[in-house]
A and B are shown apart, each in its own frame.
Chain A
């Protein structure tokens, strides 16, 4: 894992069906930009506590993408989710308390502007990126974040925004056709399977 430290991107986002398309868009953008997504769900070892898996991922990745959209409940009696801010805190903590991680870079996402402020007031002053619940914006934000991590001499070869979007639309079409248009079947893909499909798709294009 140490070898890929600079390319590894820890992805911390909600795990629910409504969010799944956005999670998959993040994974697609990370792979298409030449980086390696790291999700806790990749590690299915039931003998390791979840927090240990998270720590391992954070320790092995220079970059982190955190979506804190679920800080706000949307229905009566719905609990807002604290896992994402918790993991963001761990990632930021590692940067501040460890010499090895002092150059860590994180991208914080939210679906609605300023939605985190009432529940995460200590995070004030930072600059979460808002994608307005739209996939196109999400692809653009993730690409922009990763672009800044590429050495200046290699930026000419970095995937263009329009190309990334076109590839993504075509990939979604392939996926739709592959599963006979049954969206529920696409949701059942594990994160690792999905990532492998992206890698294969990118190798063909």
Chain B
């Protein structure tokens, strides 16, 4: 049951009245791992290992407060690291 007064957000829509924070995506590409901001069309950094890529993304995350989204090779989300560093 929906709570009265609670904002109902449809799939894909940005929350009303809130500026969106771009997520950081850690993406496997040709044997390497790219760190990309969702608002950018190019990689911020290319790493040899996923650990290096996540570590780099976490560094930006702590400054900007954005979520780090780690993807599988097939494109699906493997897991998300929230602003507080916990895996979602």
Q: Which residues of A contact B (CB under 8 A)?
A: 21-22, 24-25, 132-139, 160-163, 165-166, 168-178, 181, 183, 186, 197, 200-201, 203-205
Contacts and interface: CB of A to CB of B under 8 A. Distances in A.
11 contacts: A22-B74, A135-B74, A136-B28, A136-B29, A139-B75, A162-B41, A166-B40, A171-B12, A177-B80, A200-B10, A200-B11
Considering residues B10, B42, B75, B79, which has the most beta carbons from chain A within 10 angstroms of its beta carbon?
B75
A205 B12 contact: yes
B75 A168 contact: yes
B23 to A, nearest CB: 6
Interface of B is mostly: loop
B40 A162 contact: yes
Given A172-B71, A178-B11, A162 B42 contact: yes
Contacts of A177: 80
Contacts of A161: 41
A22 B23 CA distance: 22
A197 B13 CA distance: 11
A112 to B, nearest CB: 14
Contacts of A165: 27, 36, 41
Interface residues of B, number: 29
Nearest to A199: B12
Given A169-B25, A181-B88, A197-B11, A133 B73 contact: yes
B14 interface: yes
Given A174-B12, A205-B12, A183 B76 contact: yes
Interface of A is mostly: helix
Interface of B: 10-14, 23, 25, 27-30, 36, 38-42, 67, 69, 71-77, 79-80, 88
A145 B13 CA distance: 29
A94 B14 CA distance: 44
B76 A197 contact: no
B11 A172 contact: no
Nearest to A168: B75
Contacts of B27: 136, 165, 169
A162 B75 CA distance: 15
